Amino acid sequence: MTRVGIVAKPDAPRAKGVIAQLLSWLSAQGLGAVLEKETADLASADVPAAADKAELPSQVDLLIVLGGDGTLLSMARAVGDLGVPLLGVNLGGLGFLTATTLDEMLPALEAYLAGRMTIEERMLLAAKVIRNGQPLCEYAALNDVVITKSAMSRIINLSVSVDGRYATAYRADGLIISTPTGSTAYSLSADGPILFPTMDAVVLTPICSHTLTDRPIVLPGGARIEVTLLADQEVMATVDGQVGVGLRERDTVEVRKAASRIRLVRFPQKDFFSVLRTKLKWGER
| Rounded (5°) CA angle 277-282-285 | 130
Contacts of 140 (CB under 8 A, 6+ apart): 76, 77, 80, 124, 125, 126, 127, 239, 258, 260
| Rounded (5°) CA angle 88-92-97 | 30
Compute the distance between CA of residue 87 and CA of residue 69 in angstroms, rounded to an integer. 11
DSSP 185: T
Compute the distance between CA of residue 239 and CA of residue 87 in angstroms, rounded to an integer. 22
Number of continuous H segments (helices) and E segments (strands) in the chain: 6, 17
Compute the distance between CA of residue 254 and CA of residue 127 in angstroms, rounded to an integer. 6
Phi/psi of residue 220, nearest 5 degrees: -60, 150
* Residue 69 known to be catalytic: yes
Give how far Cα 157 sits from Cα of 148, 183, 206, 213, 230, Å: 10, 23, 11, 16, 5
Q: What is the DSSP string of 220-253?
A: ETT--EEEEE-SS--EEEEETTTEEEEE-TT-EE
Compute the distance between CA of residue 200 and CA of residue 202 in angstroms, rounded to an integer. 7
Query: Which one is catalytic: 69, 144, 173, 251?
Result: 69
Residues with catalytic roles? 69
